[in-house]
Amino acid sequence: MTPSYWNNATRELSGRDPVLRVLIRNHEGPYLQSRGDAFTTLARSIVGQQISVSAAESVWQKLLESVGALGPATIVRMDPSKLRACGLSSNKSTHLIDLAEHFLDGSLDTSSWSDQDDEQLIAELTRVKGVGRWTAEMFLIFFMMRPDILPVDDVGLQRAMSLHYNSGKPLSKLKIRQIAGAWQPWRTVATWYLWRSLDPIPIEG
């Protein structure tokens, strides 16, 4: 996202939601920017599923050390036992290889992604083993820079919204969607600041 777009989004969100107004004021600085490439971003999301951020980083670094130049071709050539030796489960090893095969055979056509709407792209990505809706949404946020993604299944978003909008008590997904309705079309930007309210270090894909 461009700085001007981000600034416009934060200005609009601040005017609509007093909670976000405080969070945006308290967490000025870096904003969401796309990094890496499509394969690496999706691979990192698979590695990080259902484990802590620190554990995911440890596994990721071991994987990079093992494969050298990370890419679909290097992953496909690796013996699954070497992937498991990096700390990946059997399922994640299989999913990572399946992802690499989709890139190599053209099943994932990156050239068409900019023309697809959010739901179309999510549907394409979730055909890959191990890529569920949450992983696809993280990809749309961190790589595609889609501005209006609301990852209601994300634990961090759920925690932040219960803290700031319901005195720490859990909120239903329906209620989260209702609150977030006021944020459209900048729900990605709002999510970013809610994440940062839990961890002030900017989140990267």
d(CA 31, CA 116): 24
Residue with more model confidence, 70 or 13 = 13
Q: Which CATH number fits domain 3-33+149-198: 1.10.1670.40, 1.10.150.120, 3.20.20.60, 1.10.3720.10?
A: 1.10.1670.40
Written in H, E and C, the secondary structure of 178-202 is: HHHHHHCCCHHHHHHHHHHHHCCCC
Q: What is the DSSP letter of 154?
A: -
pLDDT computed for residue 201 by the predictor? 59
Residues 2-58: tens digit of each pLDDT:
888 999 999 999 999 999 999 999 988 777 888 778 999 899 889 988 887 788 889
DSSP H stretches of helix in 27-182: 38-47, 53-67, 72-77, 80-85, 90-104, 118-125, 133-142, 155-165, 173-180
d(CA 69, CA 98): 18
Which helix (H) or strand (E) segment holds residue 5: the answer is helix 3-16
Q: Where are the domains of the chain?
A: 3-33+149-198, 38-142
Residues whose CB falls within 8 Å of the CB of residue 114, separated by 6 or more in sequence, listed in order: none
State the architecture of 38-142 in CATH terms. Answer: Orthogonal Bundle (1.10)
d(CA 190, CA 205): 17
**What's the pTM value of the predicted model, to 2 decimals?**
0.85
Residues 176-188: tens digit of each pLDDT:
999 999 999 999 9
Interval 159-180 mean pLDDT: 97
Q: What is the DSSP letter of 202?
A: P
Note whether 154 and 134 are within 8 A (CB).
yes
Rounded to the nearest integer, the mean pLDDT of the chain is 91
Q: Is the pLDDT of residue 204 over 70?
A: no
User: How does residue 202 score in pLDDT terms, banded at 50, 70 and 90?
Assistant: low
Q: Is the pLDDT of residue 205 over 60?
A: no
